[in-house]
Structure formats: C-alpha cells, structure tokens
Amino acid sequence: MVQGCENARIALRRAPQVSYRHAAPETVLREPGTLAVFGFGAGAAQSEDPRWLGVDLEGLDAPVPMEIWQVAGAVNHGREDDVQWSAGDGWLFAAITLDERAHGGPRDTAHEAYGQLCRFLATRRERHVQRIWNYLGDINRGDGDIERYKLFCDGRATGMGGFFVEGFPAATAIGHHAAAPRLQVYLLACDEAGQRVENPRQVSAWRYPRQYGRTPPSFARAMMLPAGDALAISGTAAVVGHASAHEDDLLAQLEETLTNLETLLQSAGMAAGFDTQSPLKAYVRQPTDAPLVHDFLQQRLPGVPVLLLHGDICRQELLVEIDGWRYA
C-alpha cells in the first residue's frame, strides 16, 4: 500500500551557477540553462535577447569578461512593459533600464523602476527576491538630502511599497559614468525564500540614523539562497557600526572590507575564505587605484575570480566596495 505523502517536503532549489567568461554572447545564450548574461561597458557586444543586459559600468581589466548565470532547467524569457525577464528551474532574472530624462530625476525614476518590478514580481511564482543590483549615474552629486543616492533611496522605498514587508533582499548600489543618465536595476528571484544574513560588526542598513538620509537604505547584508548552497553577498565596504572607516586610505579600507566579508561568512555558518568557485566584483572609485586593488586581492584571495569595475561607492569617502558569491 502506498503511504500518504502530505508531509513530503519539496526539494529546495539549487543555486544558479555564476561565472565569468570570455565568449560571444550568442554562443552563451544558446547554451542550455542560460538565465542571464551581462556585458560591461560601452564596448560590450549587444544582443536583443531579454536574457542579455549591457551594464553601464566600465571594466578595469582588458578584455572584460561576461558574467553568466546558469540553471539546471529549460529557460523561457520575454518582456513586459520596461521589464526584461527570463525564468527557469524556479529562478527568475528581471531587469529594467530607465532614462532619468523621461522620469524626472533619480527619485521618480527609482520609484517607477521599483514599481514596475514589484508589479511584475507579484504576477510570478518566483517572487522571493534574493538579490538586487542598482546602477545610477553621479551617485554622490548633491549635498544633504538632495544627494542623488539619497533621492534614489527615497524613490526606491516608495516604489517597492509593501512588497518587501517580510524583509529586504541583499543588494548593491553603485554609481556609473555612462553618458546617458540611466538607472539600471536587475534582480535574482526564486519560488522559494532565502534566509537573510546580517553582519554583527555593522548596524543593519535599514536602521541607519537620520544623518544618512530621510530613507535608510533597503537591503540585507547577504542572503543565503534557499538550499543553503550559496551566499549572495551585498555590496560590502569599510563600514563599522554605521560609520565609514579609514577615509582616504585604500589599503586600510580593503582590509576592513575583507574583515566584513569574513564576518558575513561566519554569520551565515560558512567556512572561512573564498575559492575559485566564488566570483566577486570589486567596484573601484579611482581607475588609477585598480592595479593596487588587483594586487591586494590577488595576494589575499589567490585564485578567486574578481571582476574589477569602475564605479562610485554610495559614500564619497569610500574608495572600494566588494560584492559577489560564496558557494558552499
């Protein structure tokens, strides 16, 4: 007699595989299970496929590899309003690119971008957002509450409304130097929830005091993906408590950033260190600092794939930020 199975547990989704590679976009897009492909900078090849996104951040190494997300199952894709998307094996990639000139500046553009994304996600079973990336121009321009990053935070919060009432995903916000004033937002979501991870060395971002703007940043420090097989790490910099550390000292900021990354691994219950299967991005404010950042990371994280990108950190005094993935 077949026993009842009402208590059977659905298998948790295995994490997408993230890698960096030099290849033609169309070659990778033809591969089974390709969920998303990212090119970086003005010189990146282009494709009309919704799984392709040209990111407005220039690489600091030449040639610049593509970033590739791949899942185990078949992938379908499409477009809805301004949102491009693809889905497969319980995972969803979604992205939106908006020109600020059509939407009234960083606050209103962020409101529109997040509103569209959240409305789209509400129609999907893959609505558990694990990780978000935000790239906007001139992120540090303006003083006080009219700094562009702070206006972005205001618009992001109103655009998402109550969608993240149960908690924020991991995230990154970086300034690009492209000529067009575009806001790019893209995300990874799943049909199963992940587990948020905070850093005990840092105040949780949504609890920052008023000095950081009317609306505190809306992200978790990291997200453990549903199967516990990968940690999606938010943009991490030399912040202790809620204060920036080591102003104008690049090497000290890098050391502090690595300490924060290791603390996140410990908080997530993962073994220390990064390996050849743990791709990272390092966002570097000054291109002239790229060789020093490269050498530091080569020495401290030997064999770890690191993509160096020219990007402004959300605080003017911070010179470098690192995010990425750590697989179990």
CA 76 and chain centroid, separation = 22
Neighbours of 216 (CB within 10 A): 19
CB neighbourhood size of 58 (10 A): 19
The sign of the torsion formed by the CA atoms of 258, 235, 325, 193 equals positive
Give me the residues paired with residue 220 across strands.
Answer: 170
What is the b/e burial string over 175-184, where b = at least 16 CB atoms within 10 angstroms of the residue's CB?
Answer: bbebeebbbb
Evaluated on CA atoms 249, 250, 251, 253, the torsion sign reads positive
Closest CA to 187 of 128, 240, 138, 254: 128
Catalytic residue, candidates 67, 100, 126, 321: 321
CB 216 within 8 A of CB 208: yes
Rounded Cα distance, 167 and 291, in Å:
38
Residue-level length of the chain: 328
- Listing DSSP states for 59-119 in one string gives ESSSSPPEEEEE-SS--EEEEETTEEEEEETTEEEEEEEEEGGGTTSHHHHHHHHHHHHHH
167: CB partners within 8 A, 6+ apart: 196, 220
Contact 178, 139 (CB under 8 A): no
31 in active site: no
Nearby residues of 305 by Cβ (< 8 Å), 6 or more positions away = 19, 20, 276, 278, 279, 280
Kindly state the DSSP code that residue 181 receives in the 8-state scheme.
-
Active site residues: 321
